[in-house]
Amino acid sequence: MLTVTSDIEVLARFGRALADPIRIRVLLALRQAPAYPSDLAETLGVSRTRLSNHLACLRDCGLVVTVPDGRRTRYELADERLGHALDHLLAAVVAVESDTTCPNTAEKGCC
């Protein structure tokens, strides 16, 4: 059952998804076109098991959905506007001091 979440929760989920480089690459790939897990794993150069974990996270975050296609399952962005949001984020200018780095605050798990 799908539920409507608050704006803050939506942005938090999006932020958690973007916190991992592999999940970012998955979202960028799916921005171009829906894909099957085996094709995504090959394109991204990651194992199917590792990719499966990231796809599960993206599903749990509500950013991707599965679409049955015969005996296979295809993945796509849950909403085409997510692709536009990624385009806007990529075009945004980020103000970063050259001698400052972000601390690694990756948490175990996701969403």
- The full set of domain ranges for the chain reads 7-90
For residue 107, what pLDDT is reported?
Answer: 45
Does the pLDDT of residue 110 top 80, yes or no? no
Q: What percent of the chain has pLDDT over 90?
A: 60
Query: Could you tell me what percentage of the chain is helix, strand and coil, using 3-state DSSP and rounding each to the nearest 5?
Result: 50, 10, 35
CATH no. for 7-90? 1.10.10.10
For residue 90, what pLDDT is reported?
Answer: 87
For residue 96, what pLDDT is reported?
Answer: 62
Paired tokens of 13: 């989920």
Q: Could you tell me if 63 and 56 are in contact, meaning their C-beta atoms sit under 8 angstroms apart?
A: no
